[in-house]
Amino acid sequence: MSAGTASDAALDALFVPFSTGELTLPADENLLFLRARDGFPLRERKRAGWLMQQSFKPAADALAASGFQVTADLPERRFRVVLVLPTRQREESRALFAQAMAHVGEGGIVVASVANTEGAKTAEADLARLAGHVTTLSKHKCRVFWTRPGAVADASLQAAWLTLDEPLSVAEGRFVSRRGLFAWDRIDTASALLVDVLPNDLRGRVADLGAGFGYLACTAIERCAGITSVDLYEAEARALEPARRNLADAVTRAGRAVATHVRWHDVTHGIDEGYDAIVSNPPFHQGRADDPTLGRAFIAAAARGLAAQGSFWMVANRHLAYEATLDACFASVRTVVEQGGFKVFEARNPRR
């Protein structure tokens, strides 16, 4: 995230009660930070053994580069202090609160911070409902709120909220997804448009960049009998299990052997080379603002990863100007269709 965003403000605000002395940070390894994000307020208080949980690869990499211990998954043990930066998706955040309460040790506390513009009052009410009374302060246009030491979660509510992070069926049972993923509860309109014009003769090694729960790759496997292997690249680790399950189902429906690999990976750092076809509906947001640099980085990665005779198929919002980057990276580019606010490109002959 860039400096000055609401999300940075939430990170700043999270540490205010520790700065004022209302709360105390552990000097040992007894701190877990759920959906942790790197930043000066965290780095200046760093202690050996603190565990950062972050499932989004770029954010996890930033934490690791600052010397923190990072995991994409939830640990087994409990902690004296559990910090949380909730998400904008309410049910996903409820699952986070339930997970935080499940990982706080005897006498410990859960502390959360949310920007006012991103549902602070709602998040505060949810944690209070789960854990009882919370103490609140306002700072940096955010709310910071924390549980009483040793607060015990409402057992039935906690059990119900923990299930909110489990994979669930979408698209009339054809796929599984997970709350909080991009377009988690439906087939994204842009991806559906790309699938509508995707040729049936794709073959060989195929990559799906920014794959989410795997809709593009799964559809390609079922439609294109010449595909022999598929690699999914996805930066959000919470999407990996649904993607694996969806790929396995797609291979079963296709009735033939297809090698599949699901990778937790930041595409902007590059991908493997030699793909015969690459498909992508790249992300275009950084926070709430449109950020076409992400899509441009995906285009550059695709050009480097594509075999000389391969093809790159990409869908994007019509208002995002990717044409110059496509022309710089590929010798042959055509707009296949423009419809419903989106455009699909086919690019060939990558420039080396």
The pLDDT tens digits of the residues spanning 113-124 come to 999 999 999 999
The pLDDT tens digits of the residues spanning 127-175 come to 999 999 999 999 999 999 999 999 999 999 999 999 999 999 999 999 9
What would the mean pLDDT of 194-199 be, rounded to a whole number?
97
Roughly what angle, to the nearest 10 degrees, separates helices 90-103 and 120-131? Answer: 40
Residue 148 one-letter amino acid: R
The whole-angstrom separation of Cα 235 and Cα 219 is: 20
- In this structure, the number of other CB atoms found within 10 A of the CB of residue 50 comes to 22
pTM: 0.93
pLDDT band at 267 (very low <50, low <70, confident <90, very high): very high
The pLDDT tens digits of the residues spanning 228-251 come to 999 999 999 999 999 999 999 999
Phi–psi pair at 154, nearest 5 degrees: -60, 115
Fold of the 6-165 domain: Rossmann fold (3.40.50)
**Burial grade of 351 (CB within 10 A; 0-12, 13-18, 19 or more):** exposed
Indicate the pairing of strand 104-115 with strand 79-84: parallel
- Please list the residue range(s) of the chain that carry CATH number 3.40.50.150: 6-165, 168-350
User: What sign has the CA pseudo-torsion 178, 183, 187, 191?
Assistant: negative
**Domain 168-350 CATH assignment equals 3.40.50.2000:** no
7, pLDDT greater than 90: no
Nearest to 170 by CA among 206, 110, 215: 215
Listed in sequence order, the DSSP H helices in 90-176 are 90-103, 120-131, 155-162
Quote the pLDDT of residue 284. 75
Strand partners, 343: 316, 338
